[in-house]
Amino acid sequence: EAGVTQSPTHLIKTRGQQATLRCSPISGHTSVYWYQQALGLGLQFLLWYDEGEERNRGNFPPRFSGRQFPNYSSELNVNALELEDSALYLCASSLPPGQGNQPQHFGDGTRLSIL
């Protein structure tokens, strides 16, 4: 089966610009999660979408936003980019989380570099 796919692989932007990252989940998965992996900070939870709705949000400012489409794919938008937004952005998908015991499957990530 095809895994979680993310595009683009690498994105270079300048301060103040806006970035859009895309994610396609594994077929049959309805939940999509976004994480930021910045150097030295580990994986930080950003957003969780399930059935088109935002279910949970991590401790990030509102300029980080996203959406989930009817086919369960998802976009992460980052507005007013800052230098510290440079990181690897990972998308994961899972079956509906139920009691929190559905493992998440990760994509290869989008490397966002802010100049």
Partner 1 sequence: AQSVSQHNHHVILSEAASLELGCNYSYGGTVNLFWYVQYPGQHLQLLLKYFSGDPLVKGIKGFEAEFIKSKFSFNLRKPSVQWSDTAEYFCAVNARSGAGSYQLTFGKGTKLSVIP
Q: How far apart are CA 88 and CA 76, in angstroms?
A: 13
- Residue 11 or 43: which CB sits closer to partner 1? 43
Residue 97 found at the interface with partner 1 (CB under 8 A): yes
Residue 21 found at the interface with partner 1 (CB under 8 A): no
Cis before 62 (ω within 30): no
* Backbone torsions φ then ψ of 22, nearest 5 degrees: -125, 150
Q: Which stretch binds partner 1 (CB under 8 A): 14-22, 40-48, 63-71, 77-85?
A: 40-48
Instruction: Give the neighbor-by-neighbor strand order of the sheet with 5-7.
Output: 5-7, 19-24, 74-78, 64-68
- Residue 22 or 55: which CB sits closer to partner 1? 55
Q: Give the residues lining the site for partner 1 (CB under 8 A).
A: 3-4, 33, 35, 40-43, 45, 48, 55-58, 90, 92, 97, 99-101, 103-109
